[in-house]
Amino acid sequence: MPTQPDHLSITRPDDWHLHLRDGVALAAVLSDTARQFSRAIVMPNLVPPVTNVALAGAYRERILAALPKGMHFEPLMTLYLTETTSPADIADAKASGFIHAVKYYPAGATTHSDAGVRDLARCKATLAAMATHDLPLLMHGEVTDPSIDIFDREHTFIETRLKPTLQEFPELRVVLEHITTRHAVEFVERSSERIAATITAHHLLLNRNHLFTGGIRPHHYCLPVLKREIHRQALLDAATGGNPKFFLGTDSAPHARHAKESACGCAGIYTAHAAMELYAEAFDSVGRLDRLEAFASHHGADFYRLPRNTDQLVLQRRAQRVPQELPFGDDHIVPLRAGEDIAFTLAS
């Protein structure tokens, strides 16, 4: 087992799955990500969704305009797949140079997914164009059938949606986003090089008991929902195992406090305030801090065929106390670990 260093210097990481929102929310959260990450794959689930190059270009400009002076950050844009996204939209996206993937939300699966896809069969020509133009498909991997147990929806998605799609489009490259189960880990491991998966910090650190510790915990509610401990262990093995198919994607998803502390609370966990520190804790818990750099800074860039970053990020083994809440426009966000310690701190 490697020793426990008191600091860790790694190639600056990228976040391959991030929600930045828009307007005052964007302004509130952007520097949390830009402080640590050089680039991020920016999710398109705004209202209305980012469905074409013009909307993605305008959103990109708003992100760059919201960046505090002196901070460097490159937003890697995505398009939101709908049943009317055309092969021409895909060709335009590829030609833009700033759109790097297309996001598939099953309609109704999660936050702002109403405009998503009800029947993937209606997207065949568009998926074929994505394969031709080598634009990866990023999948929210859950079925939406209310009769399927919520803890089984990822597994069922893999069997009934993902496998047939991969068979039909043998050239299409796919990222199964924010995987949460042993089944997903095993499926990705067994698949060809064109399949990869992102793993969040919260799914590495929490299991489904954390939803109900001493009462219902809305700030631990996300989708796909937290799973059993055996699944968390499988994710930890995958993330720390050195396999290039697994890479960092925080799925940091800010919601105002009142939207989560509600009779019908929104899905999403905010981790951008201390994402790398949280991942460092997870890797350290199994003595594998030495594998954090590849997971956070190499594998994703290689999959997306982008250059790896060249500057460094330094993490120190020094506890930080997370604030109870963070400003979010006129409201507040309750970040993961609010009021508690994280064992690592970013060196400034």
Kindly list the catalytic residues.
251
Question: Per rule CB under 5 A, is residue 15 in the interface with Zn ion?
Answer: no
The residues, any chain, with a CB within 8 Å of residue 323's CB and separated by 6 or more, are: 335, 338, 339
Instruction: State the binding string over 172-211 for ligand DOR (x if CB under 6 A, else -).
Output: ----------------------------------------
Q: At what angle do helices 87-96 and 53-66 cross, to 10 degrees?
A: 30
The Cα 174–Cα 196 span in angstroms is 6
Q: Cβ of residue 19: shortest distance to ligand DOR, in angstroms?
A: 5
Q: Which is nearer to Zn ion, 21 or 288 (CB)?
A: 21
Q: Which of 13, 43, 64, 202 is nearest to 138 (CA)?
A: 43
Q: Which one of 222, 226, 280, 322 is in contact with ligand DOR (CB under 6 A)?
A: 222
Count of alpha carbons within 13 Å of 316, Cβ hemisphere only?
7
Q: Which is nearer to ligand DOR, 130 or 222 (CB)?
A: 222
42 binding partner (options ligand DOR, Zn ion, none; Cβ < 5 to 8 Å by kind):
none
What is the CA 286 to chain-centroid distance, rounded? 22
Instruction: State the binding string over 100-119 for ligand DOR (x if CB under 6 A, else -).
Output: ----------xxx-------
Burial of 331 by CB count in 10 Å (0-12 exposed, 13-18 middle, 19+ buried)? middle
Instruction: Count Cβ atoms below 10 Å from residue 133 Cβ, excluding itself.
Output: 15
User: In 172-185, which positions are buried (b, 16+ CB within 10 angstroms) versus exposed (e)?
Assistant: bbbbbbbbbbbbbb
Q: Which one of 8, 34, 253, 338 is in contact with ligand DOR (CB under 6 A)?
A: 253
Written as six digits, the tokens of 305 are: 């065929």
222 binding partner (options Zn ion, ligand DOR, none; Cβ < 5 to 8 Å by kind):
ligand DOR
Q: Which is nearer to ligand DOR, 32 or 293 (CB)?
A: 32
Options 68-76, 147-155, 188-196, 247-255: segment touching Zn ion (CB under 5 A): 247-255
Question: Per rule CB under 6 A, is residue 141 in the interface with ligand DOR?
Answer: no
Q: Which residues bind Zn ion (CB under 5 A)?
A: 251
Residues near ligand DOR (CB under 6 A): 19, 45, 110-112, 140, 222-223, 253, 267-268
